[in-house]
């Protein structure tokens, strides 16, 4: 007897969602949206609104006086720490972008070859990522200690790495780069694992070297991952805070936009309106790279 080829369920006979299913879908969409609104958008909009006031945190917000863009003007003209902080953020960003992001990508390429001991090295490189930035700051304080630090002991020097305003920024960047390298390595390694093996095989048959295969075949194929790493690096450079705050509260050569915000909002000065203006500037700078990444992602999908 010939077997019937008739489908068991016709497409137009699919079961419709019942009331309970619809409620579940609504809750799954509404709860995350509500959390994002309460935890992200409401504070962001409140910060934007406060940036146009002179509120000092004393009394009710309704007592604050509207000052327009005066806080922004003061930050860029008469606040002496603003432009040094901008420059320090740029240096921080360049350090991550030119040194530690490429280093993480290079380690990912090596580990992708499944060399002997790959699992051990992968764990060792990724270990700093699971540590908090504050803890990393304490660890590198031991490394940089002038009297008992490991680095001075090896070099036979007595350099105050965290105390000297001429070099403490670079010392903090290296400490942060130790963590950033492992993070980039993990993301890039995941992207490399998703590359079609046939691309490598085709390049090998054409006689391409390992370096040529990577730069001409693998790297362009990982366009989405490359853009993601670029955006992550820029945002990391702008929101650097924990390590610097652990070192010296963002003073004596380590001024960053994030530390200036904390000093004005939560410090003794208690200039919440002015600190909110600094936070808004940092938010706008970060949004530039986020919008850039989203636009590239949309173009890639199209």
pTM score above 0.75: yes
Counting Cβ atoms within 10 Å, is residue 2 exposed (0-12), middle (13-18) or buried (19+)?
Answer: exposed
Q: Is residue 292 assigned to a domain?
A: yes
Q: Report the DSSP beta bridge partners of residue 66.
A: 53
Q: Report the DSSP beta bridge partners of residue 53.
A: 66
Q: Is residue 243 assigned to a domain?
A: yes
Do 184 and 104 form a contact (C-beta atoms < 8 A)? yes
Measured CA distances, 21 to 10, 13, 24, 186 (Å)? 21, 18, 5, 38
Do 252 and 234 form a contact (C-beta atoms < 8 A)? no
Q: Is residue 8 assigned to a domain?
A: no
Query: What is the residue-level pLDDT of the chain in tens, covering all 302 positions?
Result: 455 555 544 444 445 667 787 888 888 889 999 999 998 889 889 889 999 998 887 877 778 889 999 999 999 999 999 999 999 999 999 999 999 999 999 999 888 887 787 888 888 888 888 888 888 888 888 889 888 888 998 888 888 888 888 899 999 999 999 999 999 999 999 888 888 888 888 888 888 788 888 888 888 888 888 888 888 888 888 888 888 988 888 888 889 999 999 888 887 667 899 999 999 998 888 888 777 767 776 766 55
Enclosing H/E stretch for 112: none
Q: Tell me, what's the pLDDT at 183?
A: 92
Q: Is residue 196 assigned to a domain?
A: yes
Q: Is residue 16 assigned to a domain?
A: no
Task: List Cβ neighbours of 297 (8 Å cut-off, separation of 6 or more).
Answer: 224, 227
Token pair for residue 254?
A: 């380590």
Write down the residue that tokens 């095989």 correspond to. Answer: 201
Q: Is residue 97 assigned to a domain?
A: yes
Q: Tell me, what's the pLDDT at 300?
A: 62
Token pair for residue 101?
A: 């992001």
Angle CA(242)–CA(126)–CA(249) in degrees, nearest 5?
A: 10
Q: Is residue 57 assigned to a domain?
A: no
Q: Tell me, what's the pLDDT at 301?
A: 58
Do 221 and 198 form a contact (C-beta atoms < 8 A)? no
Q: Tell me, what's the pLDDT at 12?
A: 47
Q: What does the buried/exposed string (b/e) look like for 182-208 if buried means 16 or more CB atoms within 10 Å of the residue's CB?
A: bbbbbbbbebbeeeeeeebeebeeeeb
Report the number of distinct structural domains present in the chain: 1
Residue 208, domain CATH: 1.10.3720.10
Q: Is residue 191 assigned to a domain?
A: yes
Please report how the helices 82-95 and 168-193 are oriented relative to each other, as an axis angle in degrees rounded to 10: 40
Q: Is 258 helix (H, G, I), strand (E, B) or coil?
A: helix
Q: Left (φ > 0), alpha (ψ -120 to 50) or beta: where does 116 sit?
A: beta
Do 265 and 279 form a contact (C-beta atoms < 8 A)? yes
d(CA 277, CA 260): 11
Q: Tell me, what's the pLDDT at 280?
A: 92
Token pair for residue 1?
A: 């007897």
Domain that holds residue 292: 70-301
d(CA 156, CA 149): 10
CA atoms within 13 A on the CB side of 12: 0
Token pair for residue 238?
A: 């702008």
- Other beta carbons less than 10 A from residue 257's beta carbon: 23
């Amino acid at each position: 007897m010939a077997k019937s080829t008739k489908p068991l369920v016709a497409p137009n006979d699919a079961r419709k969602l019942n009331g309970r299913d619809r409620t579940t879908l609504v809750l799954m969409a509404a709860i995350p949206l509500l959390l994002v609104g309460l935890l992200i958008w409401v504070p962001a909009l409140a910060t934007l609104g406060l940036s146009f006031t002179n509120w000092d945190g004393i009394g009710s917000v309704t007592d604050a006086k509207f000052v327009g863009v005066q806080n922004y003007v003061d930050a860029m003209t008469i606040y002496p720490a603003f432009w040094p902080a901008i420059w320090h953020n740029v240096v921080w960003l360049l350090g991550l972008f030119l040194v530690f992001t490429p280093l993480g990508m290079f380690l990912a390429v090596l580990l992708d070859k499944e060399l002997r001991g790959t699992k051990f090295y992968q764990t060792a490189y990724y270990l700093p990522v699971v540590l908090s930035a504050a803890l990393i700051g304490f660890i590198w304080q031991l490394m940089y200690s002038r009297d008992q630090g490991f680095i001075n002991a090896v070099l036979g020097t007595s350099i105050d790495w965290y105390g000297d305003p001429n070099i403490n920024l670079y010392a903090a960047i290296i400490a942060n780069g130790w963590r950033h390298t492992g993070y980039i390595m993990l993301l890039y390694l995941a992207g490399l694992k998703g590359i079609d093996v046939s691309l490598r095989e085709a390049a090998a048959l054409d006689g391409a070297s390992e370096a040529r295969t990577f730069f001409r075949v693998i790297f362009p194929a990982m366009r989405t991952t490359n853009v993601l790493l670029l955006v992550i690096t820029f945002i990391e450079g702008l929101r650097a805070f924990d390590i610097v705050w652990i070192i010296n509260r963002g003073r004596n050569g380590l001024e960053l936009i994030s530390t200036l915000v904390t000093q004005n909002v939560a410090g003794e000065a208690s200039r919440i309106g002015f600190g909110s203006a600094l936070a808004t500037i940092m938010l706008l700078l970060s949004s530039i790279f986020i919008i850039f990444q989203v636009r590239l992602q949309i173009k890639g999908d199209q």
